[in-house]
Structure 1
Amino acid sequence: MAPQKRPASIAGVIRPSEDGDAVARHLQSRYDQVIPNCDNNASSPSFLCSGLLLRATEYSDKYHSWQPNPATAAWGVSFSWLRKDSDFKDTHGTSNGFIVYPEKFALSNGLVPVEVECLYPQDAWTSGPDRCTSHAYSSGAPAPTIPLCQDIGVYKSDDWLKKGFFDNENQCAFDLRPARTSRATVVMHSVEIRRLSSAQLGYRRNEIIVADWSKTPDARFPIEAFFYKQDSLPGKPTPLSSAQSDQCDFWRTVKKWIPIIRWEGTAAPSGSAKFLYRVQDQKTPDSCGVPPPDSGADVARHLQSRYDDTAQTCPDQPRKALMSCSGVLMRPGWVGNIWQPIEADKVSGVGIDWVRRDSNATSLRSYAGIVFFPEKYIRPPQKNVIVAACAYPDMSPSDGLSWRCGTVCQKQSPPVKDAAGWVNRFTGDRNQCAFSMDDGDPAYLWQQMMIVRQIRRFNRPADIIVNAWSAKDVEVPVEAIYWTTRDPESLRKARAIQEMYKDDTSLRIPVIRVEMVATLPQRITFSYHEADQSVSP
């Protein structure tokens, strides 16, 4: 059969490294792959490379289905692990959800793998404070805590069955954290337990507990597919429509298209489930519609997520400077239309602050200003106008230069091409050079700038010179207006910017509060408060 055409693209959508047909093929292959371990390594459990790690979810416009519930995330999050020899077709509560890449393939795609903590052979009715040991009765009342299997001498399938563990709250979990030995072996014992107890229990879902991933940026969460089954549940949306809503929500949030896969499940000693990619099941970026404006709270969450994202490369864009996908780009100032360059900047370039958790910045050039979207998250009608020309590791007195980048590092005599060369020659402030982003690999040069900051322990923001832009006000990628608690007067200035921007564009951009902690651990936080706003939603 000829490959099916994937949905049409629009500008700015990040494509995964494989299309829907390839995803379905890989899911089928891993489901069918009955192996005892990964890469013939007895210490590498098979869930790291085979089977499907999935979670049933329900779409809501109040949260993102791929994120853990903040009220219970610290307990661990329930998934199931599906494979031909560990088959089931039931899911908990809904008939749709998502599948994540196993660790081996998450890493190869530049994503952050989920961390598996423990595995129950059957659904265990887990609860808090620790889903690997805590359970609840069907009434919701707490059930007795059961220690981890290895801690009570249960290592094999026979040990487990002799204890009388048969389902629900009456079972122990096999600890699968890296500190445990024989992880691959106990996974296969769990598979054997399911086979031996099938006469009493049938082939129902197992339960695998994953550590809280709420600090992982959405763009680096290793989601491989949204799935649905054809069996609708009473009182629930149709599984396909719920999966389509999730697909659109992920696109609106991350601008990455994730395919929907139909799971035709079985429940047998040797399963024969099928995983199908169907064009008619997919929403497209066009049919999802233009993303609605983010709420102020969402903007603050996105800023915090990018600030906390310490990835060393941009996923899917390995040669891009990190400012293209992470960190926070802040233009200081409050006089006039600061979302546009002033006349002098059209020749000299525009100075921008860039902060990220591992940049160690605990101060800003100005305590009020605007935040720009990074290139990765530009949305129409905005344009990619913020293009870095060079990056100074420390705040620089570049205002008086006809070209703010000055004599860039690569044009020094001898040329400075890396962090070691910079540290040997310069100290910062007036005594420094900027790495040109036009002379070499921008991703590598940005990393060198970051290494310099860490060696020199600079606590002022990195000084990024960007090319002046020529764009209509509504095309400039303004994400937020900021003020800082270090200067209460800056709130008045931020409100004035918000009012001017609304007058000029008819758009409301939220005012975000920035708080800086100079003591260890150094950190900047971003939050939204209705009381800070001058323009109503």
Structure 2
Amino acid sequence: MKRIILWMFVLLLSGCATHELSPKVDSDQGTSGVQSADTGTLATGPEIAGYLTEAYHNKINMCRANPSAPPFLCSGVLLRATQNSTGFHFWNPNPSSTGVSFSWLRADAKFGKLVFGYNNGFIFYPYFFKPAGKIEPEILCFFPVDGATTLRADKGCGTHPGFPTSAPCQSQNINTAVQYLAHYNSLPSKYHTLCGFDVRDYLNQGATTAFNEAVKAQGQGGTFAFNTQNEFRLEKWGQNLGATLPIEAVFYLNDTGKAGAQYDQRDFKTQTGIWIPMIRITLPQTPAADATFQYIPADQAISS
């Protein structure tokens, strides 16, 4: 992303570029890196569980004091719920889709279930801490609750057919959490009618502001928002790019999801030669509770 390249250049000029390579960083720098780009040393499963916990609790509103770096670049847990199948690799997008949907879990962006009731999936690194050589599918838009993006225009970020209220929030002059909640509360049917916030790279500081307001709106959205996962829409990537995608881990919620995650862990290692851990996520069941992230050695299909 252009904002990342620019900020890395600034860091180089200021002599601070080594911060991105550090395995641990201060809270105002975002979450932890899990691979040192100079040594190539991979983190262990327990370390990655620790990094995810840190990322979940880090309620920063921008990355590295850069107003053009939204917090999803360095904090929170960017995850995609998937349905396990031997017919396809979990990292390949649906060939008929126009984009790829994720959810973003953080202490101020909680939800108690995954889309379609799925029980496993995979996690992307925050882009500021991805290993060297990994690609960055562009993050396009964010819905405080599921946006029913399959039929929306503009790669899932635009208007849902027949519902003009579903046009991008900024295009409707909906720019704050207060404005979004007024929009939200005025609509009896949510999924197809709600708007999403454009957070594309070219918006720079505007993307940061929009995303932070969207997170506030989710936190104030009440029972419906908590019971309905939020939704990011990412640029669709090509097939069979597992080795270059910024995949940090596979995850599971329960024993049903564990079997799927075990298959995915083995499949990823077979196809890419890369070991990734299985992380057990316990989602909060009340707004007052927090998610937890555990590496359980006995649950791993393969240890390395």
Aligned partner of 1:162 in structure 2 is 182
Is 1:35 matched with 2:54? Answer: no
Matched, 1:252 2:277: no
Q: How does 1:289-308 map to 2 (within 5 A)?
A: none
Instruction: Give the structure 1 partner of residue 213 of structure 2.
Output: 189
After TM superposition, the structure 1 = structure 2 runs for residues 237-276 of structure 1, keeping only pairs within 5 Å, are 238-269=256-287, 271-276=289-294
Amino acid at match of 1:131: G
* 1:493-532 alignment runs, 5 A limit: none
Aligned residues of 2:73 and 2:128 also touching (Cα < 8 A) = yes
Q: Structure 1 residue 167: deviation in Å?
A: 2.9
User: Quick one: distance in 2 between partners of 1:254 and 1:119?
Assistant: 30
Distance 2:303 2:286 in 1: 38
Q: Indicate how the Cα distance of structure 1 residues 192 and 34 shifts in structure 2: closer, same or farther if over 3 A, else same.
A: same
Equivalent residue letter for 2:105: L
Q: Does the 8 A contact of 2:49 with 2:293 survive in 1? A: yes
Cα drift, residue 269 of structure 1? 4.1
2:252–2:280 contact (8 Å) kept in structure 1: yes
Question: 1:201, 1:45 → 2: CA distance?
Answer: 21
State yes or no: 1:144 paired with 2:144. Answer: no
- Cα shift at 1:270: 5.1
Q: CA RMSD, aligned part only?
A: 2.1
User: What TM-score, normalized by structure 1, do the two folds share?
Assistant: 0.46
Match of 1:277 in 2: 295
2:102 maps to which of 49, 54, 79: 79
Matched-pair contact (CA < 8 Å) for 1:121–1:193 = yes
2:13 counterpart residue number? none
CA distance in 2, matches of 1:196, 1:58: 30
Q: Which has the larger radius of gyration?
A: 1
Q: 1:162 deviation in Å?
A: 2.2
Q: What is the DSSP-based 3-state SS (H/G/I as helix, E as strand, rest coil) of the residue aligned with 2:92? A: coil
Equivalent positions of 1:167-178 (< 5 A) are 167-178=190-201
Per-residue deviation, residues 171-212 of structure 1 (Å, max 9, x unmatched) = 111001011142112112112112222145444310110111
Q: 2:156 aligns with which of 131, 148, 170?
A: 131
What are the within-5 Å matches in structure 2 for residues 201-240 of structure 1? 201-214=225-238, 217-230=241-254, 238-240=256-258
Q: Give 1:153 deviation, angstroms.
A: 0.8
> Is the counterpart of residue 112 in structure 1 residue 135 in structure 2?
yes
Tell whether the 8 Å contact from 2:110 to 2:219 is kept in structure 1 after alignment: no
Q: Distance in 1 between matches of 2:272 and 2:223?
A: 45
**Structure 1, unaligned runs of 5 or more:** 1-14, 136-141, 233-237, 287-537
Conserved? CA contact 1:55–1:97, under 8 Å? yes
Of stretches 221-230 and 194-203 in structure 1, the one that deviates more from structure 2 is 194-203
Contact 1:103 1:114 in 2 (8 A): no
Structure 1 residues 243, 149: closer, same or farther in 2, change over 3 A? same
Give the number of aligned pairs. 257
**2:113 alignment partner AA:** D
> 1:51-99: CA deviations, max 9, x gaps?
0000000121111011100111xx2111100001101120012110000
How many angstroms apart in 1 are the aligned matches of 2:219 and 2:78?
19
The verdict on how the C-alpha distance between 1:201 and 1:33 changes in structure 2, with shifts beyond 3 A counting, is closer
Residue type at the aligned position of 1:154: I
Q: Higher relative contact order at CA 8 Å, sep ≥6: structure 1 or structure 2?
A: 2
Which secondary structure state, in structure 1, belongs to the residue aligned with residue 293 of structure 2? strand
What SS does the aligned partner of 1:118 have?
strand
Q: List gaps (5 residues or longer) in structure 2.
A: 1-39
Cα separation, 1, equivalents of 2:224 and 2:279: 31
Tell me the residue number matched to 2:22: none
TM-score, scaled relative to structure 2:
0.79
* 1:390-425, Cα deviation, whole Å (9 max, x unpaired): xxxxxxxxxxxxxxxxxxxxxxxxxxxxxxxxxxxx
Change in CA separation of 1:16 and 1:276 when aligned onto 2, cut-off 3 Å: farther
1:127 and 1:134 in contact (8 A); partners too: no
CA distance in 1, matches of 2:243, 2:251: 19
Cα distance, 1:113 vs. partner?
2.1
1:48 maps onto 2:68 in alignment: no
Q: Sequence identity of aligned pairs in percent?
A: 34
Match of 1:198 among 200, 213, 222: 222
SS at the partner of 2:180? helix
C-alpha separation in 1, matches of 2:45 and 2:224 = 38
Report Cα offsets for 1:483-515 as digits up to 9, x if no partner: xxxxxxxxxxxxxxxxxxxxxxxxxxxxxxxxx
CA, structure 1 residues 47+85, in 2 after alignment: closer, same or farther (shift >3 Å)?
same
Match of 2:49 in 1: 24
Task: Give the Cα–Cα distance (whole angstroms) in 1 for the partners of residues 210 and 227 of structure 2.
Answer: 19
Residue 251 of structure 1 and its aligned partner are, at CA, apart by: 0.8
In the aligned structure 2, how far is the partner of 1:153 from the partner of 1:113?
Answer: 29
- CA gap of 1:104–1:257, structure 2 versus 1, over 3 A, is same
Higher helix share: 2
Q: Aligned partners of 1:56 and 1:264: how far apart in 2?
A: 14
Aligned to 2:271, what secondary structure does the other structure show?
helix
* Cα gap change, 1:266 to 1:63, in 2 (>3 Å): same
- Equivalent residues of 1:126, 1:134 under 8 A apart: no
Q: CA deviation at 1:170?
A: 1.6
Shift of 1:150: 1.0
The 3 A distance-change label for structure 1 pair 228 and 200 is closer
Return the letter of the residue paired with 2:283.
G
1:289-335 CA-to-partner distances (Å, cap 9, x unmatched) read xxxxxxxxxxxxxxxxxxxxxxxxxxxxxxxxxxxxxxxxxxxxxxx
Change (3 A) 1:270 1:83: farther
Query: Quick one: which of 91, 113, 122 aligns to 2:145?
Result: 122
Amino acid at match of 1:250: F
Call closer, same or farther: CA 1:203–1:42 in 2, change over 3 Å. Answer: farther
Q: CA deviation at 1:268?
A: 4.3
